[in-house]
Amino acid sequence: MPEMNLVQAINSGLRGAMRENDDVLVMGEDVGRLGGVFRVTQGLQEEFGADRVIDTPLSESGIIGTAIGMALHGMRPVSEIQFADFIYPGFDQLVSEAAKYRYRTAGEYQVPLVVRTPYGGGIRGGQYHSQSPEALFIHTAGLKVVCPSNPYDAKGLLIEAIRDDDPVIFFEPKRVYRAVKMEVPEETYGVPLSEAKIVRAGEQVTCVAWGAMLYEAFSAAEEAAKQGIDTEVIDLRTLWPLDVETIVSSVKKTGRLVVVHEAPQTCGFGGELVALVTERAFLHLEAPPRRVTGWDTPFPQTHEHEYLPLAHRIIPALIETARY
């Protein structure tokens, strides 16, 4: 079984899905001959041709609007938005159109499209190349939101997203693109868009994270263990629909919850996770749930590592919550 990084695994997933189904196509800015800004789609146009790997104009609204039209006519487009920060010109197409079609037509029409986009900080991208807008899409009924942390999950979740009949926003942690390698099957396989994964078992505090912050949470848990704090770490993988049962079951065991995400704290997804757990496991809580997040500011260029909720900020939260 070959070892792949995140870029290679996503490329393999796209290639496998396109071989499996002729209705699958890829479109976006520079995805064809160049292979995308991060080279995720490299080599696909050579294999499948310019009719199925389409270089588009620099128009996010046009890319997503065209993909919606294709999906309504039976195709399964996978659109790439070069950075999550650039998705806003197509936001109306996603939340007002793609998310609503199944509901407004009583299931007569479906929009089986995937929008792939790199998100988050850690690469010195500055204000316009480092944002984490996942909460905006989770808030919109009708969209599914996925954020893998590793190559194996990335390939399986992407294939499952392409097979899904609903629109899926697929956030890719660009900080992890080439930083992590693991064994990934060459054949196609699916990872369900409904299951979180416990990546570290523990008894004293539950820590929930996704994407690149999963590694920071895991590192913090390992350091906290040296001080006698046993942390259970959960990788959400799919943000919506949420596997709330896995989180609640863990919190009922540990009695404590820490949520980690890159986005600003106010109205971030961490607040919703805290609310869901409080509603379902209030009597099991032995400490106030805690969030370790980005700050409520625009993403900074110079002070990127002060903004990100890295392990050194998570460790005190785990220890203080466990000892509350």
DSSP state of 299: P
What is the sign of the dihedral through the CA atoms of 243, 246, 249 and 253?
negative
The pLDDT value given to residue 123 = 80
Q: Is 139 a catalytic residue?
A: no
The pLDDT value given to residue 21 = 97
CA-CA distances (angstroms) from residue 132 to 108, 149, 290? 33, 14, 19
Query: Order of strands across the sheet with 231-235?
Result: 197-200, 231-235, 205-209, 257-264, 290-294
How does the average pLDDT of the chain come out, rounded?
96
Give per-residue pLDDT as tens, 240-262.
Answer: 999 999 999 999 999 999 999 99
197-322 classified as CATH 3.40.50.920: yes
What would the two tokens of residue 45 be?
A: 């146009």
What share of the chain in percent tops pLDDT 70? 100
What is the sign of the dihedral through the CA atoms of 200, 204, 210 and 216?
negative
What is the sign of the dihedral through the CA atoms of 155, 156, 161 and 165?
positive
The pLDDT value given to residue 288 = 97
Give per-residue pLDDT as tens, 122-160.
Answer: 888 788 898 999 999 999 999 999 999 999 999 999 999
Give per-residue pLDDT as tens, 22-52.
Answer: 999 999 999 999 999 999 999 999 999 999 9
Which among 61, 71, 133 is positioned nearest to 93, based on CA atoms?
A: 61
**Beta-strand (E) ranges in 69-192?**
76-80, 114-119, 144-146, 168-173, 182-183
What is the CA 128 to chain-centroid distance, rounded? 18
The residue extents of the domains of the chain are 3-183, 197-322
In angstroms, the CA 55 to CA 235 distance is 34
Q: How many CA atoms lie within 13 Å of 19's alpha carbon, on the beta-carbon side? A: 11
Matching CATH topology for 3-183 and 197-322? yes
- pLDDT for 302 beyond 90: no
Can you give the pTM of this predicted structure? 0.95
The predicted model gives 309-321 an average pLDDT of 97
Asked whether the beta carbons of 193 and 163 are under 8 A apart, the reply is no
Give per-residue pLDDT as tens, 190-212.
Answer: 999 999 999 999 999 999 999 99
- Determine the CATH number of domain 3-183: 3.40.50.970
Give per-residue pLDDT as tens, 58-110.
Answer: 999 999 999 999 999 999 999 999 999 999 999 999 999 999 999 999 999 99
Catalytic residue among 129, 261, 284, 312: 129
